[in-house]
Structure 1
Amino acid sequence: MTRLPKWADLALVPLISLLLAGAISAVVVLMLGENPWETVKIMVDGAVGSPYAWGYTLYYATSFIFTGLGVAVAYHAGQFNIGGEGQAQLGGLGVALVCLALPWPHWTVALAAASVGAALFGAAWAAIPAWLAAKRGSHVVITTIMFNYIAAALIVWLLVEVLRPTGQMDPATARFAAATKLPTFQTIPGLDLIFTKKVPANVTFFIALLACVGVWLLLWRSRLGYEIRAFGKSESAARYAGISPVRVIMASMLISGGLCGLMSVNNVMGEAGRLLQNSSEGAGFIGIAVALMGRNHPIGIFLAALLFGALYQGGAEMGLWTSVPIELRLLLQGLVILFTGALDTMVRMMIAPFFRKRGAQ
């Protein structure tokens, strides 16, 4: 197959994949009796047409950045972490336990402690599949998927039997103290001039940006990052060079789980103010698509997270103002995953002849 230029691999292939996914979704919209163009306009306006819309898009994108980065770190080590959903749910448990443990004096202190708790709980949930892969040769895809279901059942049991306050019917923890409430965009000086209405986007977004920088520094500017990428490219060559497979697998999976766990700070602490069932809201699975579309690079992941945040918010608006069900956004997300993952080679084959002809001239 013709080797594509780097710009085509990073930008053109994902763009074509997105257009193909959109074209199929447009056919579905037509079959439902709606105008695809009008539907797209509603989605775009609902996602990025106003500061209020951006406030929701950035809120969703924040979660997807964390889980996308988590998937990417593991992927560079040759480990396909499908367990981000469970790791995010356990991260939410870490946030809740920290926020309920002490009378925190200020949100900054609570945020630092909750972030540590979220990362530790997420990393701990990834540690068992990592150890099974490193020491027993278990397939990390299978074990991490299984741990998603275990995490969901564990959270339900804890919320119903252990953490639910006496007399409360909701399967949820008590509400966190007011001092732990994170500032949202409409309360941050400077941003309040743009975001005049209440939106869920909060300071966790800036932590997500720092996480992008941190992952870039880890993977491309550190010895551990070099070992992770070398092991992911060729395990046999890495072994020959003296790189420990156990160290790389454990380190990459723990970092991956910690990043997925950090996602819950945004949802549990920043928006809900307590731990609810399914606090991860599917972000663990969407993170896989974000990492694939972003080519497992922090910049690409950031841009892909914005796209999926817009799809999430725009899909909600579409379901509100048209007869098209909100589940169509799941179809579009699934098609993007299909084309950027399973059919990535097909997309490359479609455009390869163009570059082959240019190279022959």
Structure 2
Amino acid sequence: MSAPFAKLPNWAEYGLIPLVNLVIAFLVAGLVVIFAGENPLKAAYLMVSGAFGSGEGIGYTLFYATNFIFAGLAVAVAFHAGLFNIGVEGQAYIGGIGVAAACLLFDNSLPWYVIFPLAIAGSALMGALWALVPAWLQAYRGSHIVITTIMFNYIANSLMLWMLNNVFKPLGQMAPQSRTFGEGGHLPKLDWLLAIFGLDNRNSPFNLSFLLALVAAYLVWLLIWRTRLGYEMRTLGHSAGAARYAGISEKRIIVVTMMISGALAGLLAINSIMGDQHRIQQEFVAGAGFVGIAVALMGRSHPIGIILASILFGVLYQGGAEIAFDMPNISRDMIVIIQGLVILFAGALEHMFRPAIVAAFARMRQSGSAATEAVGG
């Protein structure tokens, strides 16, 4: 068995190592751009200017980041209990049913500020219930949570397609989508927030659900580090044996944690359905559930880190679209490769440079101790 990594200062653990992984990922991505016959410095400029060069660009960046915050929080909550929830994508799909039901039933009779809480409750409930089945199977039947949540993604996709064609789609319409919601089903844009900084949101779908995501991040922080339930979740995540010895019900924590994770995933649907499309249609999650895994890893499962990592991936999505538009040799598929490199180094190769950094800190400590002894002698 390999020895555990030495403890690093928090600024190195949560700042330096993710930064090193990110820099290496972008250097490798630069090589990809060179092989495509384009200038990597120009590509970097286009990415940053496309994401932050205008109020509309910032609006799109934060719109994408909103989805990633919800997804990252959902994955992180499960991580803390030692669970790997791969089913955020499917839980977000099912959460969309709760959002669509609230909007379609009341959009022409109630204002948005009444429908919004109903959509929050509906999406969270549907996402939690969809996560309950894999959680129960893990807790009471020993089924592996990774396998069951992956399978439930495919089931959710098929169920959503059936719902779109047989429940939500109006008679006589060919496209598998619901009707457009009335005004009550439209979340207000956050034009005023960008206007504080002198920016014009223009046509971006940046909306109120971004603030909901920030509130969710704060509540997750309270849950994990300021409640007994959060302590029990972290104890189970560190050592199932220690949790059992302390009298913590492993089955209860698995079920409760996965339902909270599923509820956070379900909230993701609000941003796309109420904030942008104003209808429910196929593929509205657009892979955000899987990006949430990388966001949680890069953010070290801490809400602040998740917010920062989500904004980074928002930059990759919005800035990547700008690169694909202005550089003819860089296709959308190559942008996906660049995004994949960031995920690779932030996730699968997360510990690649840790031994060297730990060794460097050890040498610095030894040098500091030697210098102190020399002065004292």
Q: Deviations over 1:42-84 (max 9, x none)?
A: 0110011111110000000011000100000000000000000
- Tell me the equivalent position of 1:119: 124
Structure 1 position 4, deviation (Å):
2.1
Which of 348, 354, 364 is residue 358 of structure 1 equivalent to?
Answer: 364
Moved more, 273-282 or 338-347: 338-347
What is the DSSP-based 3-state SS (H/G/I as helix, E as strand, rest coil) of the residue aligned with 1:344?
A: coil
- Tell me the equivalent position of 1:300: 305
Larger Rg: 2
In structure 1, C-alpha distance between the alignment counterparts of 2:232 and 2:148, rounded to whole Å:
24
Structure 1 position 163, deviation (Å):
1.6
Which of 267, 270, 290 is residue 265 of structure 1 equivalent to?
Answer: 270
Is residue 2:27 matched to residue 1:23? yes
- Tell me the equivalent position of 1:39: 43
How many residue pairs end up in the alignment? 361
Matched to 2:354, the amino acid is: R
- Tell me the equivalent position of 2:80: 76
In structure 2, C-alpha distance between the alignment counterparts of 1:67 and 1:113, rounded to whole Å:
20
What is the DSSP-based 3-state SS (H/G/I as helix, E as strand, rest coil) of the residue aligned with 2:352?
A: helix
Q: Percent identity?
A: 51
Call closer, same or farther: CA 1:356–1:245 in 2, change over 3 Å.
Answer: same
Structure 1 position 189, deviation (Å):
9.5
Structure 1 position 188, deviation (Å):
6.5
- Tell me the equivalent position of 1:137: 142
Call closer, same or farther: CA 1:188–1:356 in 2, change over 3 Å.
Answer: closer
- Tell me the equivalent position of 1:178: 183
In structure 2, C-alpha distance between the alignment counterparts of 1:288 and 1:256, rounded to whole Å:
12
In structure 1, C-alpha distance between the alignment counterparts of 2:334 and 2:366, rounded to whole Å:
43
In structure 2, C-alpha distance between the alignment counterparts of 1:20 and 1:192, rounded to whole Å:
33
Is residue 2:80 matched to residue 1:92? no
Structure 1 position 7, deviation (Å):
1.0
Matched to 2:163, the amino acid is: L
- Tell me the equivalent position of 1:349: 355
- Tell me the equivalent position of 1:150: 155
Structure 1 position 335, deviation (Å):
1.8
Matched to 2:359, the amino acid is: P
Call closer, same or farther: CA 1:191–1:279 in 2, change over 3 Å.
Answer: farther
The answer on whether the counterparts of 1:14 and 1:293 sit within 8 Å (CA) in structure 2 is yes
Structure 1 position 350, deviation (Å):
2.8
The answer on whether the counterparts of 1:186 and 1:198 sit within 8 Å (CA) in structure 2 is no
Structure 1 position 198, deviation (Å):
2.4
Which of 333, 340, 355 is residue 339 of structure 2 equivalent to?
Answer: 333
Matched to 2:156, the amino acid is: A
Q: Deviations over 1:317-353 (max 9, x none)?
A: 1111112012233222222222222212212023222
Moved more, 185-194 or 165-174: 185-194
- Tell me the equivalent position of 2:199: 194
The answer on whether the counterparts of 2:72 and 2:293 sit within 8 Å (CA) in structure 1 is yes
Matched to 1:254, the amino acid is: M
The answer on whether the counterparts of 1:185 and 1:195 sit within 8 Å (CA) in structure 2 is no
Is residue 2:230 matched to residue 1:225? yes
In structure 1, C-alpha distance between the alignment counterparts of 2:356 and 2:194, rounded to whole Å:
49
Structure 1 position 191, deviation (Å):
4.8
Which of 277, 285, 297 is residue 280 of structure 1 equivalent to?
Answer: 285
Q: Deviations over 1:113-133 (max 9, x none)?
A: 001111011111111100001
Moved more, 175-184 or 276-285: 175-184
What is the DSSP-based 3-state SS (H/G/I as helix, E as strand, rest coil) of the residue aligned with 1:262?
A: helix
* Deviant stretches of 4+, over 3 Å: 187-193
Structure 1 position 24, deviation (Å):
1.1
Matched to 2:246, the amino acid is: A
Normalising by structure 1, report the TM-score: 0.97
In structure 2, C-alpha distance between the alignment counterparts of 1:328 and 1:293, rounded to whole Å:
22
- Tell me the equivalent position of 1:65: 69
Call closer, same or farther: CA 1:248–1:48 in 2, change over 3 Å.
Answer: same
Call closer, same or farther: CA 1:188–1:13 in 2, change over 3 Å.
Answer: closer
In structure 2, C-alpha distance between the alignment counterparts of 1:347 and 1:173, rounded to whole Å:
49
Moved more, 315-324 or 155-164: 155-164
The answer on whether the counterparts of 1:267 and 1:280 sit within 8 Å (CA) in structure 2 is yes
In structure 2, C-alpha distance between the alignment counterparts of 1:254 and 1:333, rounded to whole Å:
29
In structure 2, C-alpha distance between the alignment counterparts of 1:159 and 1:188, rounded to whole Å:
34
